[in-house]
Structure 1
């Protein structure tokens, strides 16, 4: 609840939209939606659409476009309707400083909650500390739902049991009051659809193994066995199934094709993700550049380096990961 006490903070929260309406249309008797908007994150007007585009991701949250969205008719820019409607300032009930967080568009940032790195997308910044939260985390509800379960989940500070997504032993859980179902935060935040170099098609998060024959329960990346009762990612077209941990890492939400300016190179560098070894080698570690790299695309210039070799957030990521609960090493991965 916001109290109108006349303060600058209250005035900002009362005038909190991140876009101006250019055009709107009436749907039914009482529903009016903006069909064209001017959003603070983009120089051009954005047009509303329900025609979902294959392979397009949101420039606000970096997730695939699977629902209604706004897009730019002049350039390749997309926002989920829900991301376009995010307020300029909002509170996060989990943040240690109970001050409004501010919507920003950053070239790159490290999310203090989910421990992923993002580039060229929205974050909510704390004006007291240097914490930045991604859109996925800021939209998180205290009574969340997930597609793998029909009921709402509730927070339990003390919980005894296993995560239905990965099998880790839980102490802090999001659990169902009606049935024996619980998840850790990391599994609850898994994207429904993700792109990975192991397959030319997007992979879909899968909750149930249709094939009951154990000989098929292998990961097509690490070639180790999978636990058929645990969540995994799958390409139905290629019939590939993989552990979630084999496709997700700290850089899974970095946008390819975006540019980066290095201090010691005169040309802009472009984020690329390479599948196979190829020359030239990384200018820093001198290994062949696989996975996420920053590469100069100027003709005749072979400058390239692994992003992990210069990642300014790498120490923060490692420190945060040390506090995450670890599952036991098993022959069959969960």
Structure 2
């Protein structure tokens, strides 16, 4: 982080100078309380955490190493592990061309990864190393990494149904999927020239891409530009049905014709809104038409495909 922040060493809470001092974006969750209120809340907080098992009972690591081998120059490689959510041990693999998805992030599997030979359970090495417990700036309680399994969960940031693993607060029914949890709180995006800062108090502001006023957003401190998580996590490139070429997400009109249509639904497009485009075929389309019923699918929420940087 290249900017000054206000920081609480007791709970690892940090806030940008703009966010901490702006009256408009003030988060009342963290406003200083009186000593009596703090004392009462501190006692109740301890009870709640004990009931939910959110503190010391949860290890920071999500796995236990079962077997180590020596790598290059004596480095240690975790060859076999026991993951917290799986009954069998997982082995490290570097095989290419595996047509499977990671059970945590739901992205296509790629090496290095861990897998279970008995039941086809796959995890990227990076997903295995995700911490079991985190604090996130969008929620006041610790969040615990959990598989969704049969429970329904919707990510509170991108509003898409969650499949795979989420960081969860059981008390508040709060879930954030793995990919959204990895997005930093300060980003740059190719659709805008300034840095964007994560805001907890931007519900009233409309997304500059889709005009929605729902959910958490990234806001520009220099102008009125605002971007919600659903638009932020649109794939940068995507395949559409039997179309031979991939489509690229575009942020400005492709020409100055003053006539903009979607070649899928054949309805007019708003030139101010983002769209997908195949330059080879001169084929523009609404994001909803390209993504169709998969518009809210978590498998589209790929951090590796997002055109963002810290």
For normalisation by structure 2, the TM-score amounts to: 0.57
Following the alignment from structure 1 to structure 2, what is the Cα–Cα distance between the partners of residues 216 and 55?
Answer: 41
Distance 1:163 1:33, change over 3 A: farther
Report the CA distance between 1:69 and its aligned residue. 4.7
Aligned to 1:222: 265
Pairing partner for 1:85 from 122, 129, 141? 129
Pairing partner for 2:176 from 133, 144, 151? 133
Report the CA distance between 1:86 and its aligned residue. 1.8
Aligned to 1:188: 232
Matched, 1:242 2:285: yes
User: Which deviations, in whole Å up to 9, do the C-alpha atoms of 1:45-69 show, x marking residues without a partner?
Assistant: 2425495x5875432122445x755
Following the alignment from structure 1 to structure 2, what is the Cα–Cα distance between the partners of residues 107 and 251?
Answer: 21
Matched, 1:17 2:52: no
Pairing partner for 1:143 from 157, 163, 186? 186
Q: Cα RMSD between the aligned structures?
A: 4.7
Report the CA distance between 1:192 and its aligned residue. 3.8
CA contact (8 A) 2:159 2:230 kept: no
Distance 1:41 1:173, change over 3 A: closer
User: What SS does the corresponding residue of 2:150 show, helix, strand or coil?
Assistant: strand
Matched, 1:39 2:83: yes
Matched, 1:124 2:175: no
> Aligned residues, how many?
246
5+ residue gaps, structure 1, are 256-334
Pairing partner for 2:153 from 100, 103, 110? 110
User: What SS does the corresponding residue of 1:155 show, helix, strand or coil?
Assistant: strand
Following the alignment from structure 1 to structure 2, what is the Cα–Cα distance between the partners of residues 208 and 27?
Answer: 45
Report the CA distance between 1:85 and its aligned residue. 1.8
Distance 1:90 1:76, change over 3 A: same
Aligned to 2:249: 206
5+ residue gaps, structure 2, are 1-8, 12-45, 300-310
User: What SS does the corresponding residue of 1:110 show, helix, strand or coil?
Assistant: coil
Following the alignment from structure 1 to structure 2, what is the Cα–Cα distance between the partners of residues 162 and 139?
Answer: 23
Report the CA distance between 1:253 and its aligned residue. 2.3
User: What SS does the corresponding residue of 2:105 show, helix, strand or coil?
Assistant: coil
Aligned to 2:37: none
Following the alignment from structure 1 to structure 2, what is the Cα–Cα distance between the partners of residues 168 and 103?
Answer: 29
Following the alignment from structure 2 to structure 1, what is the Cα–Cα distance between the partners of residues 10 and 226?
Answer: 33
Aligned to 1:284: none
Q: Which has the higher contact order (CA 8 A, sep 6+)?
A: 2
User: What SS does the corresponding residue of 2:179 show, helix, strand or coil?
Assistant: helix
User: What SS does the corresponding residue of 1:221 show, helix, strand or coil?
Assistant: coil
User: What SS does the corresponding residue of 2:147 show, helix, strand or coil?
Assistant: strand
For normalisation by structure 1, the TM-score amounts to: 0.53
Q: Which sits farther off after the overlay, 228-237 or 130-139? A: 228-237
Distance 1:162 1:115, change over 3 A: closer
Report the CA distance between 1:183 and its aligned residue. 1.8
CA contact (8 A) 1:38 1:46 kept: no
Report the CA distance between 1:225 and its aligned residue. 3.1
